[in-house]
Amino acid sequence: MRGTPATSERSGLTLKHSLRLLIVVALAVAAAFSIVLGLSWRHEAARLEERQQESSLRSAEIARVLLNRRIERGHLLIQALAESRTLQESLAALSASRLERVLREFNKNTKPTHIAVLDASGELLAASSPLAWLAFEREHLGPGSTDAHTRAGVVAGDLSAIIDQPVMASGRRLGTVRATVQIGRIFLSETSDDLNVPLALLDRDRVVHHSFPEEPPLARPGYPRRRSADFDIAYLRVEAFPQDEIWIAAGESRAPLRTAQHRFLSLVATLGIGGLLLVLLSVGSFLLVGHRRERRLVSQRDAAIDRSRGLSDRLDHLAAVVHDIKAPVAGIQLRCEGLAEDMNGGDTRSALFQVVETCEKLSLYLVNVLTAAQAEEGTIKARRDVILVPGLLEEVVEHATALAERKGIHLLVSANSSLAPMSGDAGLLERALINLAVNAISATPEGGEVELFAEIMEGDLVMGVRDSGPGFTVFDPKEAFSRSRVIVKDASIKAGSTGLGLFIVARIAEAHGGYCQAINRDSGGGEVRIVLPH
């Protein structure tokens, strides 16, 4: 079958193109999905990071408040102790034993802490316990201050708030009550358990105590937040120590953030892969359907090309056959016309003229068959030459005069010599008018009239034929130019027996951008018009 190799080659190229297109679409979808995923996660990660930082800062703030309250409560207790009359009298008497009893009694009703009493010169007189005595002696914390004072220091290995509260009586300073409020290991452990976050206390450039799994990084001036491997850490300075840089830090675990990240990425990856597969399946199905459709169209096109080639071959063959038949028919016509002219009359002369008329009809029929085949293939192409309309009608009259005379028909021409020249194919228009004239002469009774006319009607050029015959009685004039009406009844060549003439006339008019009309005249007879734009 012709066209199959070309079809296969084009099909292979189309399939490769479809596969390349599918790969490009897949890469484009993957790139777009990656961008959307990156932007989505970036936004989500920023939101989660902000929430982590807010949580760690809130925990640090709570821990700082608890620490400040602990120190403030220690201040109040030590102030109450310094203002008690018993302690003042014992200190005025410099009685160490009485002072120790007061301190031990006081320590029973308060949270265990280290308390000591210093005289006016700063010498240690009494302590709440032997451990407190050793701690204050060993740490060399210096003389008592004349004013209430709080500072940070390490007492017995634990970071503490050291409170000095002067003991005054009658406007005279008797000495100082010194106490420690422990804010180190025990405080951090209790508070960390309550808040469920790790905490740390930092003194300037060192971490004093912490409950982190590993020692957290140091705070930096201007950087209230830092990050370790497992925690987001917030740092706040403790206001209770204005002269010391004591910081409290709270860490928020990054495990929930990583879990959220994994869940988010898993969800997006699942949806993304599913969406990508759906897109690929959809695009692949679309391309496959398109590929099959294209293959079908290519196959149909190749088949149409084959049919067109076959039609062209058949038309060429038909044209050759028509030419081979017309040549001897024309010879027979000329020979019969010569013999008939040499005779003066009789039946033989009449028979010869009948042969001549049949030859003319046969020649016209052969031309019509070839033209109809060309019209059905769509190969009728009208040239654009300058045509003088009155001259065109005269050519048709000259061709149809002999037939009209033999039939006893009066052949008339109605065309204004002032009609402007038109643009068209003179050969095709002459063939159309000859078909109309022959049909009209054959359908008109002897003694009737056939008129060829050309005139301007409503801005269009109208050419055609009028006759005084019976008109269109066998079929509707509106169907006169339909190919489906054409029926060959027998092998004889009779005017109007095939209807090819009117079908061809309509196709020639369409090739010139016009159309045809067939009507029954009110005065009798029929009229066929070729309406062309002018």
Cβ-proximal residues to 498 (8 Å cutoff; 6+ apart), any chain: 365, 368, 486, 487, 488
Give the total residue count for the chain: 534
Tens digit of each residue's pLDDT, the chain (534 residues): 444 554 555 555 456 676 677 677 767 776 777 777 777 777 877 887 888 888 888 999 999 999 999 999 989 999 999 999 999 989 988 898 999 898 888 887 776 578 999 988 888 899 988 888 887 876 555 555 567 788 888 887 788 899 999 999 888 889 999 998 888 888 899 999 999 999 999 887 789 899 998 888 887 665 667 777 788 899 998 888 888 888 999 998 888 777 877 777 777 677 666 666 666 676 666 666 666 777 777 777 766 665 555 555 565 555 555 555 656 766 675 667 666 666 776 667 667 666 766 776 676 666 666 566 655 666 577 888 899 999 999 999 988 888 888 889 999 999 887 888 999 988 889 989 998 998 899 889 999 999 999 999 988 999 999 999 888 877 777 777 876 554 433 333 344 444 577 888 888 898 899 999 999 988 888 999 999 997
No. of helices (H) and no. of strands (E), the chain: 10, 17
DSSP bridge partners of 532: 461
335 falls within a domain: no
Residue 56 belongs to some domain of the structure: no
Number of domains in the chain: 1
Report which residue type is found at 341.
E
Structure-token pair, residue 313: 């071959």
Rg value, the chain, Cα: 61
Residue 389 resides in a domain: yes
Measured CA to CA, the distance from residue 408 to residue 405 in angstroms comes to: 5
Measuring CA to CA, how many Å separate 393 from each of 24, 61, 397, 416, 464?
Answer: 67, 113, 6, 11, 9
Residue 477: inside a domain, yes or no? yes
Residues contacting residue 93 through CB under 8 Å, at least 6 positions apart: none
Asked if the structure places residue 384 within a domain, the reply is: yes
Distance from C-alpha of 484 to C-alpha of 371, rounded to nearest angstrom: 16
Give the DSSP letter string of 16-39.
HHHHHHHHHHHHHHHHHHHHHHHH
Cα–Cα distance measured from residue 72 to residue 304, given in angstroms and rounded to the nearest whole number:
102
Q: Assign residue 418 the CATH number of its domain.
A: 3.30.565.10
Would residue 289 count as lying in a domain? no
User: Which candidate, 261, 197, 280, 510, places its Cα nearest to that of 381?
Assistant: 510
Give the whole-angstrom CA distance, residue 159 versus residue 65: 17
Dmax over CA atoms of the chain, in Å, equals: 187
Task: Answer yes or no: is 414 within a domain.
Answer: yes
Q: Specify if 251 maps to a domain.
A: no
Q: Are 251 and 197 in contact (CB under 8 A)?
A: yes
- Parent domain of 447: 380-533
Query: Which tokens sit at 158?
Result: 């634990």
Q: Could you tell me the pTM of the whole model?
A: 0.47
